[in-house]
Every structure is written in structure tokens, then in C-alpha cells.
Amino acid sequence: MKAMRQPVIAGNWKMYMTIAESLDFARALKPLVVASTGCEIVVAPPFTAIKAVSDRLEGSNVEVAAQDVASEPGPGAFTGEVSASMIRDAGAKWVIIGHSERRQYYGESDESVNGKIHASIAVGLLPIVCVGERLEERNAGRAEQIVDAQLSGGLRNLTESEASRIIIAYEPIWAIGTGQTATPETAQQMHAFIRLRIKAIFGGPIADKTRILYGGSVKPDNILALMNQADIDGALVGGASLEADSFARIVNYKQSD
């Protein structure tokens, strides 16, 4: 089953990188991954650099994501928001939705995640939908319950064909930016659970095809062990995606040890 799922390695730049820095990164990354055919490669610059990075990467094997999107399709009077069609217009093909930092600091709810997914799919953007539990929730034995609620709320009212375009990123909050990666076994356990839940909601064929990425302190030296797990189909990388060299080593995980 895993063989039929093309891995995705995505870099989430968060609130880092000016336009000039983004272009330097794109220039440095391209030759390092030009021969990487084993996975889809995605970078998520801040909104301000999406257009420049997309232009610079045009025709390469690296695609661009936004880090968030408005839930209103627009156009309309929504000051500060950026619509899915504007993101397409700037050259991105993907969008990260429901990252834990958006949930924690900006009040992102499963309901708004759901709206953002619908708005994105309507214009052909591929959503990377983030889920994950806090440390105290895991310690209380509630990790699966939390992720289950995020999935059923976030993925509400999608047709099978819409659901087939979605990528899930499991990012335990205690592993993000802490250097404390989930062990491959812990991650695998949750990924298998997520696939089961997708099967329950959308059926077996969609569950088998859905890419489930792991995120949380992914580095060049732990990616291979994570990717060797049956239900881990890629990674969403924060800190280690900010240097072209370390991001390329993660993308090229099969070549390095």
C-alpha cells in the first residue's frame, strides 16, 4: 500500500525569510534536489515571498505552499485575509491549514479549518491539514481522542473526490521546535490511527491513498527511520527546512544514512 503513495516533504518557513533570502534559498535548493524523484517537494514561504519563490522555482521539481488561507472564498471585505484564489494567483499549489501555531496563538478552530479546506479545494489548492495533541493531552491518554476530534471536525462535509486531495500532517505539539521528535514507533501508531479514522469517514480506497506526513523536529538524521514506518508518507519540516542544505538532505533521505 505504501508503495502507491508518493511521499511529500514540505518545508514550513513560518515567519522567517525576506524576499531576498527566499530567492537565495530557492537558488541554492534547486540543484541540490534536481535529481530527487522519490518524493514531491514543497516549500512554504511567508505570503510576501510566494510570488517571487514560485517564479524562481517554475519548471523545477519544487512546488510552493502558503502557510494559511482565508476561509471566505472572497473577494470581499476581509481586511488582512488572503484568499485561496489569491494564493493560486501568486503561484502556490499547496496550502498548510490548521498548523498548531495558528490553533494556539490565533484561535484556529476545527470549524475554521473546515472552511479553509473547502475554500482551498474549490480553487484546486492541495491542503496539508495539521493535527496533533499537546503534551498534557498525551500524558492523560487522550492523544487519539484529540486527533480524532480534529479530523472529524476539520474534514466535515467533504465528498470523496474532495477528500482524496487532502494531505494530513500529524504534528504532536510537544515535538514542534523542541528537538524532541516522536519516536518512529509513537508516530507510526498515531499515523495508523489516523488512517483508520479516514477509512471510517471516507472508506478504504481513500484511506489507502491519503498521504500522512509527520512533523515535529524532523532533521536529516531522523528522517529515514520515520520514513521507514508503514504509515508515514512524508514530513512537514520547520526549523530544518530553513537551510537549503539540511532541507535537501531530508528530501534526499534515501541517499543519506
Shortest spacing between CB 118 and ligand PGA, in angstroms: 23
Catalytic entry in 99, 101, 133, 191 = 99
**Among positions 215, 222, 244, 250, the unique one binding ligand PGA when judged by CB under 6 A:** 215
Q: Of 124 and 177, which CB lies nearer to ligand PGA in the complex structure?
A: 177
Among 54, 71, 217, 229, binds ligand PGA (CB under 6 A): 217
- Reply yes or no on whether 81 is catalytic: no
Identify the residue among 7, 46, 127, 216 touching ligand PGA (CB under 6 A).
Answer: 216
User: Is there a contact between 66 and 44 (Cβ–Cβ < 8 Å)?
Assistant: yes
Answer for which of 9, 12, 116, 120 binds ligand PGA (CB under 6 A) is 12
Nearest position to ligand PGA, beta carbon:
238
Q: Return the number of the residue (45 or 85) whose C-beta is nearest ligand PGA.
A: 45
Tell me if 132 contacts ligand PGA by CB under 6 A: no
Interacting residue with ligand PGA among 17, 49, 65, 237 (CB under 6 A): 237
Q: Judged by CB under 6 A, does residue 171 bind ligand PGA?
A: yes
CA distance 38 to 75: 38
- Kindly determine how many residues on this chain lie close enough to bind ligand PGA according to the rule CB under 6 A: 13
Question: Measured between alpha carbons, how far is 126 from 139 in angstroms, rounded to an integer?
Answer: 33
**How far apart are CB 21 and ligand PGA at their closest, in Å?**
17
Residue 118 among the catalytic residues: no
Near ligand PGA by CB under 6 A: residue from 97, 212, 238, 247 = 238
> SS3 sequence, the chain?
CHHHCCCEEEEECCCCCCHHHHHHHHHHHHHHHCCCCCCEEEEECCHHHHHHHHHHHCCCCEEEEECCCCCCCCCCCCCCCCCHHHHHHCCCCEEEECCHHHHHHHCCCHHHHHHHHHHHHHCCCEEEEEECCCHHHHHCCCHHHHHHHHHHHHCCCCCHHHHCCCEEEECCHHHCCCCCCCCHHHHHHHHHHHHHHHHHHHCHHHHHHCCEEEECCCCCCCHHHHHCCCCCCEEEECHHHCCHHHHHHHHCCCCCC
Of the residues 63, 101, 133, 171, which is catalytic? 171
Binding residue (CB under 6 A) for ligand PGA from 52, 218, 226, 248? 218
- Between CA 175 and CA 152 the distance in angstroms is 23
- Note whether 95 binds ligand PGA by CB under 6 A: no
Residues classed as catalytic: 99, 171
Q: Which residues bind ligand PGA (CB under 6 A)?
A: 12, 171, 176-177, 215-218, 236-240
